[in-house]
Amino acid sequence: MNDRRPPNGQEVRAAAARNLVPVITAKGSLANLDEGQVGSRDRGLLRELCYGVCRTQPRLEALASRLLKHPFKRRDADIQALLLVGIYQLLYLRVPAHAAVGETSGAARLLGKEWATRVLNGCLRRLQREAPRLQDEVDKDPCVALMHPAWLLKALRQAWPDDWRAIATANNVPGPMTLRINRRYGDREAYLARLYEVHQPARLCLHSPDGLTLEAPCDVYQLPGFAEGHVSVQDEAAQLAAELLGPVLAPRPGARVLDACCAPGGKAAHLLEVFDLALTGIDSDAKRLSRVESTLERLKLDATLRHADAAEDDWWDGTPFDAILLDAPCSGSGVIRRHPDIKALRRPEDIPQLAQLQARLLDALWAKLAPGGTLLYATCSVLPEENADQIQAFLARTPNVEVTTPTDVAWGRPAGAGRQLLPEEESHDGFFYARLRKAMAVA
């Protein structure tokens, strides 16, 4: 009996194209990646194809336009995505060229568009023959060579005239897998030894006392004690929130703490692991809030979670908080290496809209902070409009604010009243922190 199922290679490439259509048409993100379209052994390749195409999309699109006589129609965005998948394999993966061309072209049949097999085959074979010349031509455009949209590259250059090229380069390299050990089960040196026992070498993070970075990423369930809550995945820059709140919370057992935009829960969990406190976490996204519940359950931690908008008052019982963490919604411009679809989905008009939302959150939450309390403002952005400029505007309109952002730390650089980390290829993501204290009321 003949097996008429299509080869796995075609299935995974067709699945990649389907998952990429929402991104290249600016209608969805890789957060909705459907790995169920392929078998378990092909899911690694599916993720590599989808994330890799998003990471290199400006360059792939430029090459695709040189290879096509006429652009595809809008209804054929899946074939456009398939062409990008093919180009990515030929230029960036160690996939045999015959497989990259043949399996990608054949995948068009699984999308119900057999006519496209010849078009794709012709484009990819031409790229095989002319790759050096075509790449030299398109790379004359810095937006193509650095694989960023023009508006974002301009914004980076204006904000960081000496660093913009290094930021863009770091954005194009997948971020390392960094872990946060749970101090309740031991220190990171002991966990480092456990990793070596299972042949997962790692190094200590420079700035976070709870951080370890793996030399190579792995499935989380290959990590010793992951299911039992001994360790979590969290970038080093994100781990610094607990360090910054430490001087405020360590001497105050049972402090009332609010994590105002708590999903997916990494910072809230870190605070609960390290300090004795009563934490309330709120988030406006119910689906993401469920992820916080799952995280706390795995780590055996307790917090009060509420589905609410932090900019409103209807969720608050009127009792001020001793400390507030505002990990504000932002452009994500500091974590592009982990979320490369940001380059395709974010628009320049988003930045002032996000800045307005951040200002609303700052004002609303400051009113809920007790005198003498501390608010830690954080974003995973590298754009001043969301960071240094945002805090400067807040200080200008708000009385009785004391800036307590540390200046003697070894990480980041001064950025107004805050501290800015820029993404580094082998280390942390891009993050901004500003620590603000509400002055005690004057009698």
Per the annotation, where are the binding residues for S-adenosyl-L-methionine?
261-267, 283, 309, 327
β-bridge mates for residue 181, sequence order = 231
| SS3 state of residue 387 | coil
Q: Are 410 and 427 in contact (CB under 8 A)?
A: no
Cα 351 from Cα 361, distance rounded (Å): 15
User: Pairing relation of β-strands 321-327 and 255-259?
Assistant: parallel
- 116: tokens are 């496209």
Q: Which helix (H) or strand (E) holds 79?
A: helix 77-92
Dihedral sign for Cα 25, 31, 34, 40, please. Answer: positive
Q: Are 303 and 279 in contact (CB under 8 A)?
A: yes
Q: Are 178 and 215 in contact (CB under 8 A)?
A: no
Tell me whether residue 96 is exposed, middle or buried, using C-beta atoms within 10 angstroms of its C-beta: 0 to 12, 13 to 18, 19 or more: exposed
Residues belonging to the active site: 380
Cα 48 from Cα 71, distance rounded (Å): 25
Task: Give the side-chain half-sphere CA count within 13 A for 158.
Answer: 9
CA distances from 437 to 17, 272, 286, 400 (A): 49, 21, 30, 8
**Residues of each annotated binding site:** 261-267, 283, 309, 327
Cα 13 from Cα 50, distance rounded (Å): 9
Tell me whether residue 83 is exposed, middle or buried, using C-beta atoms within 10 angstroms of its C-beta: 0 to 12, 13 to 18, 19 or more: buried
| SS3 state of residue 50 | helix
| SS3 state of residue 297 | helix
